[in-house]
Structure formats: structure tokens, C-alpha cells
Structure 1
Amino acid sequence: MLSEMQSKLPPSERKITEYILENPHETISLTASELGKRSSTSGAAVIRLCKSLDLKGFQELKLRIAGDLQKKGEQGFRDIEPNESPLSIIEKMTNNSTKTLQESAELLSLDELNKAIKAIREARNIHFFGVGASSIIAQDAQQKFLRIDKTATAFADIHMVATLVANAQKGDVVVGISFSGKTLEVAKILMLAKKKGITTISLTKYGSSLVTELADIKLYTSATREPTFRSGATSSRMAQLHVIDILFMCVASQQYEETVKHLDETRESIDFLRENVNL
């Protein structure tokens, strides 16, 4: 979080971030006032930094730092090498995916997640939208929510999405998916939705961005940078799918009996299609 946000913070908060990244062990034993003095800022600036990171206070920041220090033996994200063995690639890809999922889980705000769950549960229609690799995530989300009787769309064509939003009403939800948070098409769709008073949800990497600024509800994935050899946005795709799965399971859990009923009906329909029937 600190590494991702560092360049976007005001000068005083940037100084504190630099001190924390260089002296994490010392930081967890300091008060906000002491950290302010050590970083040539102030205790008030430390509290502002916590707010910029969407943390409840300095104590939560210290707990997160302490938690990260416990992981110091973990391997970071690793790229593949020329002519690398399949066994080595299996190990690297598994490590990268596992690390991404863990970081994404830690970055999910329960408050924002609960808002998203409520919005999805109450939605008349849900419109998922992403560009490129993120459009695959939108299609996955549509498939999941259709199975539990939620009216959901996931068009890859921006003109079709704009048409849907133009005819949407209050009570609908638009979910914009963009790992970078900078995808102009996604931002414009959210802008159209906001003009109509429609609830908007963003799914991006952690940090402030064009897309998150336009969303009423903000869901984040790990901000860890992809290895240079991305192969179809591997880590970011896994993180986005993970958050969609969490959102789906939360909605399903809160309407458990109804969900089971719809899933059973869906399964029966698919089984019927697979049967050899004389038409």
C-alpha cells in the first residue's frame, strides 16, 4: 500500500512513507508523534497518512507493518526466464498467484464489501464492464450472478454498454473493472451511470485512480506490479476473479435458501440439455 501510494501523496506524507519503508521495525514501536519527529513532519501528518491509506488509525497501520514483517521470508513476484523448465514455471506461477490472492484479501475493505453486497442484492439489473483482459472478469461475473436469478449483463462492446446505461434506472448497478484504474472507456461508462444517479462499483488495483474517483463503492485488488512477461495479465486476472468470487459467495450466503433453489434449477436445466432426448 505504501509503495503504491508513495508518489501520489502530499510531501509531508511522502516523507513519512519513506521513513516507514526504510525503518519498518523501528516504526512499530513509535507513537504517531515520535514518527512525525523522526520523519521531520508531525503527528498530525501521520494521522493524515493513515486516512489517505483508508486505515482507521495509526494503530492499524502499525499492525499491518508488523504483519508484513512476519512475511519477510516469502518470495516476491518472479518473472520467467528464457528456456525455463516447466517445473520452475509451475513453481513461479503458483507463488505469484498465491501472493496476489493473499494481498488482495488483505486490501479488501469490509465496509466497502458490505456496501457492494447490499447494492448487488437489491439491484434490479447489474451491468459488469471491463476492457481487454478485464472483460473476461465481467463475463465471469455475469455467468455467476445469472445462475442465482440476478439479471446481469457483460457486453465487451462499449457502445452496447453505453446503450444499456442510457436506459438504466435507479436501482440498477454498474460495475467497472480495470486493473490500472486508468481505462478511459470504463471511467466514461461510470460517468454516464453517475449522471443518471445509478450506483457504481469499481474493481481496480489499490490506490486512487480515474475509475475509483467515479465509483460510489470501491473494491481493490493487490497493487503489486505484474512481472514484465505478463502473459495475459496473469496475476491481476487472478486477483479480480478472486474478488468477484468473494462478492458472489457473500451475496449467495445472505440469501442462502434462495440461492440453493436457483442453483438446483440451473443444474437441472443443464442436465436436461445433456440428456439424450428424442425430440
Structure 2
Amino acid sequence: MPQKVNAGLAILEEMKDRLPRSERKIAEYILKNPKESINFTAVELGKKSGTSSAAVIRLCKSIQVNSFQDLKLRIAGDLQHERKDVRDIGPNESFETMVEKITHQSIRSLRETTNMLDMEQLSNAVKTILQADHIYFFGVGASGIAAMDAQQKFMRIHKQCSFYPDAHLAATAVANASKNDLIFGISFSGETHEVSKILEIGMKAGAKTISLTRYGNSLVADLAEINLFTASSLEPAFRSGATSSRLAQLHVIDILFMCVATSTFEQTIGYLDATRMAIDDLYQKVPKRKSANE
């Protein structure tokens, strides 16, 4: 499997506020000086950041990167592309500026989320979805939109699946899950209490679990057997509607759906044709009932 050669800077941005003090100092130094940092050894970077080589190694472990060399390769890949800062919305900005800002943020969110996808975890997620007898998608708020979208997509290709916007209903359903079922929890922060509890209930029932969260360790990710991540450092404070994160979640769901679809291509085409015809039939004129005298 090819080594990842990008997303180093995005990962550091995602994780820096959740790191211990010495590791955070290294992350902040790299983010300010990425070009020179990729030429340092761990010892040199430790000295430059006022920490130590041991702290550099701990940083790599904390951000779930294989080694310092792996991190440097990722950062070098990032430097091949210009990375503009994300600016929040200001007062009385022109519509033209809004179009440019939102488009830029959306494209960057999709790109960085794609770069963060672990192909082994993605492959495991696809296999688990294919083998599942029933999939329970669950998310709260904006993440619930992604969960509902997933349920709608996979239902179209004959996967038995459910989405419950109410946590009580979800808990009731998941409590009766079996070892062949799958609980798919979606949470932008990874700390949503309801999502973590649904995963926990599913685990107790013996079901398999997948999480979709921001990058790194979190309550929700730690409860799941398979972890899928989105970029989250792009979410400015003003946008409480979670625009970038929601788009990133939908992007991952689309990737999962297409990977499942291509793995069962002939069946998928048949199911999609059948559902398309069913929708078309909804808009056909309903024939009048014959009266008793006819």
C-alpha cells in the first residue's frame, strides 16, 4: 500500500490544541516553519523548538503518524501546493467575496479530508458494510444530515439500514442488534454524548462499529473498531451550521457508497435501476377505479 505523502500540516493543525505542552510547541514550530522543518533531524527539531528528540517521537505517535520521516514526507507533499489561511466571514462582505470564500473552504475541506483517509481503514469499512445484515446510522445535529444521507444512499442498493433522529429510538433499535449488524456513528467533534452511547450500546449487543469524526483520538473514535476521519481545522467560529465539516462528512459517505457500489457492480446497477423505476412510477397517473355500475 503506497505511503501517504500529504496532509502533514493539516494533521498538525487538527491536533495541536489537543497535544501535551512540549508536543504542541513542536507542532506550532513546524506550522510556522514547514520548509526548514523537513530538513531537520528529530534532534535538531527538538532543539529548535525548545523541546527534545523524544518529544518529537512522542508527537508522531500522538498524531498517529508512523515516524518523523513519514511526517516530513507528508509536509513536503503539502508544500507542493499553496495553502491559504481560512478566513471567517466578516460584516457587510460582498456576495462575490462570499462565493470565493465558501468555494475555497469547501474545496480545501474535501482535499484535506481525502488526504486524511486511511486506505486500510476505508477497505475494512467497505468489507464490514458489505457483510452487515443491517446498518444503523446515527448522528446528532448537522452530523444527523450525513447519517440520513447515508441511510438513503445504501437503502437504494438494497442494504438493510436505518437512521433514527431520536436517540431513544436509536438506543431501542441498537439494543437488539446482532453480531452481524453494524453501528455507524457520525460526530464532527468526536465527543457527542448521544453518539458515543449508541456505539456503546451496539458494542454490548455484539455489533460491529464504525466512526466518522474529526482527526485524532476522541470519545466516539475510541469506541469504534474502524475509524474514518474528516478535516476539521477549516471550520471558522462564525459558521455554526458546520458547513465545511458537513460537506466533508458527506464526501466520505459518497466515497464509501461508491466503493461498495463498485465492489458489487452488477447487483448495484440492478438495484439502482429498480429504485429509479419505482420513483418514476410515483409520478405516473393513477388509473381511476371502476364504479360498481361499470
TM-score by length of 2: 0.88
Aligned to 1:51: 61
Q: Identity over the aligned pairs, expressed in percent?
A: 58
SS class of match (2:159): coil
**Other-structure match for 1:29:** 39
CA contact (8 A) 1:104 1:239 kept: yes
Shift, 1:51, TM fit: 2.6
TM-align CA RMSD: 1.8
1:18 alignment counterpart: 28
* Counterpart Cα distance in 2 of 1:133 and 1:120: 23
Q: Which of residues 128, 132, 146 in structure 2 aligns to 1:123? A: 132
Go from structure 1 to structure 2 and tell me whether the alpha carbon gap of 1:19 and 1:119 turns closer, same or farther (over 3 Å shift).
same
SS of the aligned residue for 2:209 comes to: strand
**How many angstroms apart in 2 are the aligned matches of 1:108 and 1:7?**
21
Query: Which stretch of the first structure deviates more once superposed, 219-228 or 258-267?
Result: 219-228
Are 1:224 and 2:233 counterparts? yes
Aligned partner letter, 1:95: H
Match of 2:165 in 1: 156
Aligned: 1:170 with 2:194: no
> After superposition, what is the alpha-carbon deviation per residue over 1:158-196, rounded to whole angstroms, capped at 9, x for unaligned?
011001111110011111111011111111111111122
**Structure 1 residues 56-65 or 43-52, which shifts more?**
43-52
Q: Is the 8 A contact 1:173 1:200 kept in 2?
A: yes
Q: Does 1:239 align with 2:233?
A: no
Which of 110, 114, 122 in structure 1 is aligned with 2:123? Answer: 114
1:254 and 1:54 map into 2 onto residues whose CA distance is: 29
Q: Which has the larger radius of gyration?
A: 2
Distance 1:183 1:237 in 2: 15
Q: What's the secondary structure of 1:47's corresponding residue?
A: helix
Measured after TM superposition, the shift of residue 58 of structure 1 is: 2.2
SS at match of 2:257: helix
Paired amino acid for 1:119: T
1:33, CA displacement in angstroms? 3.9
Residue 114 of structure 1: how far off its partner (Å): 1.0
* TM-superposed deviation, 1:47: 3.2
Counterparts in 2 of 1:19 and 1:77: CA distance versus 1, 3 Å: closer
Aligned AA (1:243): V
1:97 aligns with 2:106: yes
State yes or no: 1:134 paired with 2:156: no
How far residue 209 of structure 1 moved from its aligned partner, in angstroms, is 1.2
Q: What amino acid is aligned across from residue 48 of structure 1 in structure 2?
A: R
* Equivalent AA in structure 2 for residue 78 of structure 1: R
Query: Within 2, Cα distance between the matches of 1:106 and 1:64?
Result: 10
Q: Is the 8 A contact 2:87 2:236 kept in 1?
A: yes
- Mean Cα displacement is larger for which, 23-32 or 110-119? 23-32
Q: Look up the SS of the partner of 2:273 in the other structure.
A: helix
Deviations 1:100-119 (A, max 9, x none): 11111111111111111111
Query: Can you list the C-alpha shifts for 1:45-96, whole angstroms capped at 9, x where unaligned?
Result: 4333223222232222112211222334x43322223232222211111111
1:188 alignment counterpart: 197
Distance 1:180 1:169, change over 3 A: same
Of 272, 276, 281, which aligns to 1:263? 272
Distance 1:77 1:143, change over 3 A: same
Q: How many positions carry a matched residue from both structures?
A: 278
Report the CA distance shift for 1:87/1:12 in structure 2 as closer, same or farther (over 3 A).
closer
Q: CA shift at 1:261, angstroms?
A: 1.0
Instruction: Give the gaps of 5 or more residues in structure 2.
Output: 1-10, 289-294
Equivalent in the alignment of 1:201: 210
Give, in angstroms, the shift of residue 31 of structure 1.
Answer: 2.8
